[in-house]
Amino acid sequence: MTVQKAHGVGPAKIEIAYERFGSADAPPVLLIMGLGTQMIAWTDGFCQELVERGLHVVRFDNRDVGLSTHLTNAPFPNFPAVLAGDLSSVSYTLSDMAADTVGLLDALGLESAHLVGASLGGFVAQTVTIEHRARVRSLTSIMSSTGARDVGQASLEALQALGAPPAKSREEAIERSIATYRIIGSPGFELDEAAIRERAGLAYDRSYDPIGLMRQAVANIASGDRTEKLRKLDVPTLVLHGTQDSLVDVSGGRATAAAISGAQLELIEGMGHDLPAPLWPKIASHIADLVHRVERA
């Protein structure tokens, strides 16, 4: 696929890089990836699974990752201060990332779409649904949570892996990625080290910006708990979560499904905080079933 760029997206007038798969006549599904993670984490193979199920797929780089705009002139994120309530180093919130998402829909000429968000991408998808309900046909929240601090918390080992000092070279970034997925990946499935190595190298070559990841992280902290706003939603919702997720505990998925009226909760045995290839057909089928059910209605 050829990467395209939408210019002047959203209120921030930033540039968003995106790719499209499948027929433009099929129901549109917008894939939103997680913290510091580029759109290529929605692998070509996974996107093809969705296309084969009759969907038109759009994946994109959020602000501060990949080939989209990086806010390099923004303040350096101060984690301790943000956790203590001082938001002066926060450059934006999830609401701004949600506005970027809606701006991309505008650029693509889509009045609405089915949103699928993973991890932080799930937080963004939830925020789009809360703040721009008319633009959302359905919501799928994968390995995500509500923003409440008493659910969805990471294990100490996962936090340590995520908080390691930035890699100083391409090879170190690749090895760091493999080491991280040994901790947060899916224990029920064999780790595909070759695929992780290839994807991590490509991500490094596209854009390596650990400070951008930090800006996204403090944006999440500053955005707070969405639970009460989620309780007010009336939107067809699917919540997918691995039973062995060490980065966003499964309690986060359960809380998300409990908050949104009528949400369908699917817990996947052996799945951690990734999308292992053996699960692509199952996950794609769950998403496609929801989308086609909504489209028929």
154-192 per-position pLDDT tens digit: 999 999 998 889 999 999 999 999 999 999 999 999 999
Q: What are phi and psi of 14, to 5 degrees?
A: -100, 180
The closest of 18, 34, 234 to 134, measured between CA atoms, is 234
pLDDT at 1: 66
pLDDT given for residue 163 in this prediction = 85
Helices (H), 132-192: 156-162, 170-184
Low-confidence ranges of the chain (pLDDT < 50): none
Q: Which residues pair with 4 in a beta bridge?
A: 18
Q: Which pLDDT score, from 0 to 100, does residue 162 have?
A: 86
- With tokens 């979560």, the residue in question is 241
Full-model pTM: 0.97
All structural domains of the chain, each given as residue ranges with its CATH number in brackets, are 4-153+210-296 (3.40.50.1820)
Q: What is the pLDDT of residue 2?
A: 83
pLDDT digit string, tens, across residues 188-229: 999 999 999 999 999 999 999 999 999 999 999 999 999 999
